[in-house]
């Protein structure tokens, strides 16, 4: 691996560790809005990981997947937030 | 290492640092309203940084245009999502941390119509 690929791989490793930290909050979060906020950040991590993977394998066809992930993340968070609001006593 | 690769590494490193900061904030901050700040600002900046890295790496105008469109989408939607989560938390009466004493929004929400 060249130096560039090594640096990108290290960045992917740091993002994975950060994803684990966010997943801990997703699992232990005391309230449901905590989990919703953590889920939003998890989708951000997934988008960043896919973006770094696009750089790593040099396949620019894969960046269309980024658009799908961005839309899915936003729609999922909005759906969960609306669900919390409507479901109150 | 070419100049495009150096630009890519710079932006991707800044983005990953912001993402790490956001995840640390989500893990360590005391209540939901402060955690939403970490998600809505640091998380957005981190993703935008990494996307800028992808846009510069290929050196093609089409990829950069796609990434700019995606960055605009993230800038528009991510703070809205964070705001909706915070609003849902306030409407379901999630407690703030104790040092957040004067709740100036208390009693000003119309509970039926959910408007100010």
Per the prediction, chain B carries an average pLDDT of 89
B81 vs A54: CB contact, 8 Å cut-off?
no
Residue B97, pLDDT score: 81
Domain of residue B34 covers 3-91
Residue B42, pLDDT score: 93
Total domain count for chain A?
A: 1
Nearest CA of chain B to the CA of A66: how many Å? Answer: 8
Facing residue for A41 by CB, picked from B26, B91, B114: B26
Residue B28, pLDDT score: 92
Q: The tokens of B79 are what?
A: 């703070």
Return d(Cα A34, Cα B26) in angstroms, integer.
Answer: 9
In terms of C-beta density within 10 A (0-12 exposed, 13-18 middle, 19 or more buried), how is residue A45 classed? buried
Residue A51: enclosing H or E segment and its boundaries? helix A32-57
Residue B69, pLDDT score: 93
Q: Could you tell me which of B41, B34, B40, B44 has the C-alpha nearest to residue B94?
A: B34
Domain of residue A33 covers 3-87
Residue B2, pLDDT score: 87
Residue B81, pLDDT score: 92
**3-class secondary structure, B105:** coil
Is residue A89 pLDDT above 50, yes or no?
no
Q: What count of CB pairs under 8 Å joins A to B?
A: 156
Is residue B104 pLDDT above 60, yes or no?
yes
Is residue B109 pLDDT above 80, yes or no?
no
Residue A30, pLDDT score: 86
Facing residue for A18 by CB, picked from B23, B36, B73: B23
Q: Does residue B111 form part of some domain?
A: no
**Are A4 and B1 in contact, with CB atoms under 8 Å apart?**
yes
Is A63 touching B (CB cutoff 8 A)? yes
Distances (CA, A) of B74 to A49, A83, B71, B86: 16, 22, 5, 18
In angstroms, the first-to-last Cα distance of chain A is 57
Facing residue for A11 by CB, picked from B12, B22, B70: B12
Residue A88, pLDDT score: 56
A21 vs B26: CB contact, 8 Å cut-off?
yes
Nearest CA of chain A to the CA of B76: how many Å? Answer: 10
Is residue B108 very low, low, confident or very high in pLDDT (cuts 50, 70, 90)?
Answer: confident
Total domain count for chain B?
A: 1
Is B9 touching A (CB cutoff 8 A)? yes
For A23-71, what is each residue's pLDDT tens digit?
Answer: 999 999 788 999 999 999 999 999 999 999 999 999 889 988 999 999 9
Q: Does residue B102 form part of some domain?
A: no
For B33-90, what is each residue's pLDDT tens digit?
Answer: 999 999 999 999 999 999 999 999 998 899 999 999 999 999 999 999 999 999 888 8
Q: Does residue B116 form part of some domain?
A: no
Angle between helices A32-57 and B44-57 in degrees, nearest 10: 10
Q: Which residue of A has its CA nearest to B62?
A: A60
Facing residue for A88 by CB, picked from B74, B78, B91: B91
Residue B49, pLDDT score: 94
Q: Which residue of B has its CA nearest to A83?
A: B88
Return d(Cα B105, Cα B38) in angstroms, integer.
Answer: 21
């Amino acid at each position: 691996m060249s130096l560039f690929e090594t640096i990108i791989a290290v960045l992917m490793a740091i993002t994975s560790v950060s994803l684990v930290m966010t997943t801990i909050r997703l699992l232990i979060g005391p309230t449901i809005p905590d989990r919703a906020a953590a889920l939003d950040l998890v989708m951000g991590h997934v988008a960043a990981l896919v973006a770094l993977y696009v750089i790593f394998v040099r396949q620019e066809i894969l960046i269309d997947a980024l658009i799908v992930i961005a839309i899915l993340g936003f729609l999922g968070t909005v759906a969960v937030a609306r669900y919390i609001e409507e479901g109150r006593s | 290492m070419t100049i495009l690769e150096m630009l890519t590494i710079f932006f991707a490193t800044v983005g990953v640092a912001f993402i790490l900061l956001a995840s640390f904030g989500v893990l360590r901050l005391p209540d939901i309203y402060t955690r939403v700040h970490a998600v809505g600002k640091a998380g957005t900046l981190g993703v935008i940084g990494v996307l800028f890295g992808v846009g510069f790496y290929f050196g093609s105008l089409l990829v950069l245009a796609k990434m700019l469109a995606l960055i605009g989408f993230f800038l528009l939607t991510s703070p809205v999502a964070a705001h909706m989560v915070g609003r849902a938390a306030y409407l379901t009466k999630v407690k703030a941390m104790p040092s957040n004493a004067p709740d100036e929004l208390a009693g000003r929400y119309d509970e039926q119509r959910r408007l100010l």
